Amino acid sequence: MNVELTELARRFGRNQAVAGVSLQAGPGVYGLLGPNGAGKTSLLRMMATVLPPSSGKMRLLGRDPGNHTQRREVRRRLGYLPQTLGYYPGFTVAEFVEYFALLKDMPPGQVPRAVATAVERVGLGDKGRAKLKTLSGGMLRRAGIAQAIVNRPDLLLLDEPTAGLDPEQRVTFRALLREIGEQATVVVSTHLVEDVGAACTEVALMDRGRVVFHGTPGELTARGEGSGAAGDAPLERGYSAVLAAARS
Amino acid sequence: MTTATAPARPARAARRLPAPPSFLRLCWIELRRSPMPLILPLIALLFWFDSYRPSTTQAPLYPLVTFWNLGQGHTIIDFGPFVAGMSAWIGSRDGRRNTVDLVSATPRPRWAAQLAAWASAAAWAVAGYLACIGVTFALYAHRGVAGSPPWWWVAVGACAVLAFSAAGFTAGTLLPNRFAAPIAAFGGFLVMMMSSQAGFADRSGWALILPSNSNGNFQADSGILYPWLPDLPIARTMFFAGITVAAISVAGLPAAAGGRRLRMTAAALTAAGLATTGTAVGLASTARLSAHGMVIPALHDAASDRLTSYTPVCTGTGFRVCVNPAYRRYLADTAAALAPAVASVAGLPGAPVRAVQGPAVYDSADGGGGQPVTISGSPPVLSVPLGAWSFLPGINGFSTGPDSVGAFRQSVWLLFGQAFVGAGHGPGTPAQQAVQAALLQRLGVPFADQPGLLGSIELTSGHPEPLPGPVAAAAGRLAALPAATRHAWLATHLAALRAGDVPLSQLP
């Protein structure tokens, strides 16, 4: 298992952002769904090793991120796209991706090819020399995805990766996710249930810091059948039904 | 098979250079995208007005033209605050650009990434500083400035720029918002102002370590008759190097900077930097004044005290005047000034037979001023400390216009007379004052102008007040005597006069 979470919790003052999440995930694409404030981003930040958990256990890629040496090992094999992508406006796309490839301890000799491949995979091949400050929001998002996948991660954490992407790019991106998910564990936090339906092999639905549903997209869809829950698509109705049940 | 479809001949494997280490590659990216160059034109403009232009009002000798910009630290004042501000802007980048999570999720310690950003910013700042100094020295060379440049002081400036950069950068990492830059720039400016104030007030002790403390920096004839004394610059280089190491290591102390081992290394480096800085302050506090600069016993090399050998340039047939080649431009004026003075005492005991350039004696209090000439040896030789004179003909110091040759001559006559009667460093006895005044009057300086002359050359022994009545009266009587009579009286009484044994009443 690449991800093993046991009763993982995180508290910010009085606010319990994540309240005892237990999950296990191997290779595949995992969707993390939930309303605003459900704790998805906090959970992803803990898995990205940038936010220490308040309690619980976490093993990533078979290692304990609480241990400094093992955390470095995890980070070498990790790709992370935060919800709000920070970037250096003066850098070009290629420099931005290369910068993070180097920070990820990639062998210097492999970096140029890896950067070119990552930039090409997100469809920014012709924008490699463009400065980030000249890119549109969607292109910036793709540059962020490129830095996340440049090291061919075994664990890829993407927080709202398709926000700002046009429909065509979204389709391409889902294909990319499926391709990466064949060998790596991809965790995608998203509001867009169609992303989950199209790309994810499993889905977890969070509410108020807890996982209230864990299963396949088909199982989630089934929860909505005949429930009378609101939603335009079967998966949306399943989403609404599970949330309503969790809150009742 | 057509040419177009034919398989390409396998290219010979291109010889590839090994990829540079990751850290160097990070530095290269940062170097290309660092915003530090954006501020350099502004600094260069400030440097031009504040450091270069004032230096052009000095006599074209390296100790003089570099006194304002390197000695008094104006170059550091021009660079320091702006470099600190821009470095803080760069240091606060991750906080301002919201990239903390992205950078933190990588295995490379955050401090390493910060070091790359700082190293690039510092490299730009130091390159800008060296470019400004390089252009300045090139302009000096074009102008014919004589002597050798004070390279040690250049090194001090470079280290100061590094220190401001490191301090500003660390301030930015600790205060990662848009206010970091103005706060760091203002802090840098405040530090330099305090340094200047302390520097002007304290002429010894620990304050000598401060970058804009000019006491100890003015070394007349350094790089010309003496090597530049490296003692104080070495201490200041240590001071700034220590600050640089300590400041940049502080950025490695927070938990987010990296692992425990790295943070312990940062703590050790911080301590080492502070220890180096403290040692430098301690060394500066042991400094003492020598004849040509500040000496720090623990750092002093006796070789620095030896006069530099040179082949003098000379003029004159009867009375020869020889100076260091760096002072060649003043040779004719000096010889012309000395000629009537020497002629007026020709044949008298102790009258000099030739003149040579003597080394200036350093004085942190007045920066040289009008150091006296001396007559010594057998046959008597006049030693002229041209390097200590701020009244050399031409442009000088902060005077509104160039000093005239006429004023230079009168100043030389005054100093010559003082030396000839044996007044030494003080005004002399009343009789010596009267004889000096009479000699000056005979050379063409009326009694009425003599107090002004004394005041204008800022002699430490100067007394611009009018001569006391009895002295003025005796001087008038002596000057009114026929030349032969005056000559004869001087020939008889000169030895006693120099010994201070001639009372005023004994003058004819």
CB B267 within 8 A of CB B186: no
Same domain, A90 and A102: yes
Q: How far is B106 from chain A (nearest CA, A)?
A: 5
Q: Which residues contact B381 (CB under 8 A, 6 or more apart)?
A: B352, B353, B354, B355, B356, B375
Burial class (CB in 10 A: 0-12, 13-18, 19+), B481: middle
Q: What pLDDT is attached to residue B226?
A: 85
CB B245 within 8 A of CB B269: yes
CB A77 within 8 A of CB A153: yes
Q: What pLDDT is attached to residue B288?
A: 84
B98 touching A (Cβ < 8 Å):
yes
Q: Which of chain A's residues have a Cβ under 8 Å away from the Cβ of B36?
A: none
Instruction: Say how far apart CA B26 and CA A91 lie, in whole Å.
Output: 12
Closest residue on chain B to A158 (Cα): B102
Core vs surface per residue B68-81: b (16+ CB within 10 A) or e: bbbbbbbbbbbbbb
Q: What pLDDT is attached to residue B367?
A: 45
DSSP code per residue over B354-410: EEEEPPPPP-TTTTT-BPPPEEETTTTEEEE-GGGBS--SBS-TT-SSPBPHHHHHH
Instruction: Say how far apart CA B334 and CA B459 lie, in whole Å.
Output: 18
Same domain, A63 and A102: no
Instruction: Say how far apart CA A129 and CA B387 lie, in whole Å.
Output: 58
A7 closest CA partner among A167, A205, A211 = A211
Burial class (CB in 10 A: 0-12, 13-18, 19+), B21: exposed
Nearest to B22 among A87, A91, A108 (CB): A108
Does A88 contact B93 at a Cβ distance shorter than 8 Å? yes
Tokens 């005492």 appear where? B345
Provide the number of structural domains found in chain A.
Answer: 2
Q: What is the DSSP letter of B327?
A: G
- The tens digit of pLDDT for each residue in A67-77 reads 989 999 999 99
Q: Residue B369 — left, alpha, or beta (φ > 0 → left; ψ -120 to 50 → alpha)?
A: left
Helix (H, G, I), strand (E, B) or coil at A38: coil
- Taking CA atoms, B328 is separated from B142, B233, B311, B340, B346, in Å, by 16, 29, 12, 20, 26
**Is the bond preceding B379 in cis, omega lying within 30 degrees of 0?**
yes
Q: What pLDDT is attached to residue B21?
A: 81
B26 closest CA partner among A106, A73, A140 = A106
Q: What pLDDT is attached to residue B57?
A: 82
Q: How far is A105 from chain B (nearest CA, A)?
A: 6
Joined tokens for residue B234: 């070495």
Q: What pLDDT is attached to residue B397?
A: 57
Which amino acid is located at A8 in the chain?
L
Q: What pLDDT is attached to residue B215?
A: 66
Interface pTM (ipTM) of the complex?
0.91
Does A86 contact B107 at a Cβ distance shorter than 8 Å? no
CB A49 within 8 A of CB A60: yes
Nearest to A88 among B21, B33, B105 (CB): B33
Closest residue on chain A to B112 (Cα): A103
Same domain, A16 and A70: yes
Q: Which of the residues B101, B114, B124, B265 would you substitute to probe the A interface, choosing the one with the greatest number of A C-beta atoms within 10 Å?
A: B101
Does A108 contact B20 at a Cβ distance shorter than 8 Å? yes
Final residue before a domain boundary, out of A152, A180, A203? A152
Same domain, A53 and A161: yes
Q: How many CB atoms lie within 10 A of CB B275?
A: 13
Joined tokens for residue A176: 């990319």
Nearest to B99 among A48, A73, A86 (CB): A86
Per the DSSP assignment, residues forming a β-bridge with A32 are A189, A204
Strand order from edge to edge, sheet including A185-189: A78-81, A155-159, A185-189, A28-33, A202-207, A210-215
Q: What is the DSSP letter of B69?
A: I
Same domain, A131 and A162: no
Q: How far is B456 from chain A (nearest CA, A)?
A: 58
Give the angle A45-A51-A54 at the CA atoms, nearest 5°: 115
Same domain, A159 and A241: yes
Instruction: Say how far apart CA B358 and CA B350 lie, in whole Å.
Output: 18
Q: How far is B21 from chain A (nearest CA, A)?
A: 6
Same domain, A72 and A93: no
For CA atoms B249, B250, B254, B260, the dihedral sign is positive
Q: Which of chain B's residues have a Cβ under 8 Å away from the Cβ of A80?
A: 101-102, 105
Q: How far is B135 from chain A (nearest CA, A)?
A: 29
Same domain, A18 and A100: no
Q: What are phi and psi of A30, to 5 degrees?
A: -110, 125
Same domain, A57 and A33: yes
Q: What pLDDT is attached to residue A211?
A: 94
B452 touching A (Cβ < 8 Å):
no
Does B26 contact A75 at a Cβ distance shorter than 8 Å? no
Tokens 């203002």 appear where? B186
Strand A202-207, strand A210-215: pairing: antiparallel
Q: Which of chain A's residues have a Cβ under 8 Å away from the Cβ of B99?
A: 86-88
Does A104 contact B107 at a Cβ distance shorter than 8 Å? yes
CB-defined contacts A:B, below 8 A: 87
Tens of pLDDT along chain B (508 residues) come to 344 444 444 445 445 556 668 889 999 999 999 999 999 999 999 999 999 998 888 888 898 889 888 888 899 999 999 999 999 999 999 999 999 999 999 999 999 899 999 999 999 999 999 999 999 999 999 999 999 999 999 999 999 999 999 999 999 999 999 999 999 999 999 999 888 887 777 777 788 888 877 766 667 788 888 888 889 999 999 999 999 999 999 999 998 888 888 999 999 999 999 999 999 999 999 988 877 778 899 999 888 888 888 999 999 888 899 999 999 989 999 999 999 989 888 888 888 999 999 888 766 554 444 577 888 888 999 998 888 777 778 766 555 555 677 788 888 888 888 888 887 766 778 888 888 888 888 888 877 777 666 655 555 444 445 667 777 888 888 888 888 888 888 888 888 888 888 787 887 7
Does B26 contact A103 at a Cβ distance shorter than 8 Å? yes
Final residue before a domain boundary, out of A94, A119, A152? A152
Q: Which residues contact B53 (CB under 8 A, 6 or more apart)?
A: none
Q: Which of chain B's residues have a Cβ under 8 Å away from the Cβ of A108?
A: 19-22, 25
CB B133 within 8 A of CB B75: yes
Same domain, A57 and A172: yes
Tens of pLDDT along chain A (248 residues) come to 889 999 999 999 989 999 999 999 999 999 999 998 899 999 999 999 999 999 999 999 999 999 989 999 999 999 999 988 899 999 999 999 999 999 999 998 999 999 999 999 999 999 999 999 999 988 999 999 999 999 999 999 999 888 878 888 888 888 888 999 999 999 999 878 888 888 899 999 999 999 999 999 999 999 888 777 777 888 889 999 999 988 88
Same domain, A135 and A159: no
Instruction: Say how far apart CA A157 and CA A2 lie, in whole Å.
Output: 12
Instruction: Say how far apart CA B194 and CA B267 lie, in whole Å.
Output: 28
B27 closest CA partner among B88, B133, B137, B115 = B115
Final residue before a domain boundary, out of A122, A152, A182? A152
CB B208 within 8 A of CB B236: no
Does B97 contact A104 at a Cβ distance shorter than 8 Å? no
> For residue A216, what is the enclosing H or E element?
none
A59 closest CA partner among A17, A9, A23 = A23
Instruction: Say how far apart CA A56 and CA A8 lie, in whole Å.
Output: 4
Instruction: Say how far apart CA B431 and CA B417 lie, in whole Å.
Output: 13
Give the angle A182-A184-A188 at the CA atoms, nearest 5°: 95
Q: Which of chain B's residues have a Cβ under 8 Å away from the Cβ of A132?
A: none
Q: What pLDDT is attached to residue B460?
A: 43
Same domain, A140 and A177: no
* CATH at residue A225: 3.40.50.300
Residues of A with CB under 8 A from a CB of B: 45, 48-50, 68-69, 72-73, 75-76, 78, 80, 82, 84-91, 95, 98-100, 102-109, 111-112, 147
Does B101 contact A105 at a Cβ distance shorter than 8 Å? no
Q: Which of the residues A51, A97, A99, A155 would you substitute to probe the B interface, choosing the one with the greatest number of B C-beta atoms within 10 Å?
A: A99
Q: Which of chain B's residues have a Cβ under 8 Å away from the Cβ of A85?
A: 98, 102
Instruction: Say how far apart CA B85 and CA B87 lie, in whole Å.
Output: 5
Q: How many CB atoms lie within 10 A of CB B253?
A: 18
Closest residue on chain B to A112 (Cα): B19
CB A17 within 8 A of CB A11: yes
Q: What pLDDT is attached to residue A165?
A: 82
Q: Which of chain A's residues have a Cβ under 8 Å away from the Cβ of B26?
A: 99, 102-103
B303 touching A (Cβ < 8 Å):
no
CB B162 within 8 A of CB B244: yes
CB B338 within 8 A of CB B321: yes
Instruction: Say how far apart CA B378 and CA B384 lie, in whole Å.
Output: 17
Residue A127, domain extent: 85-152
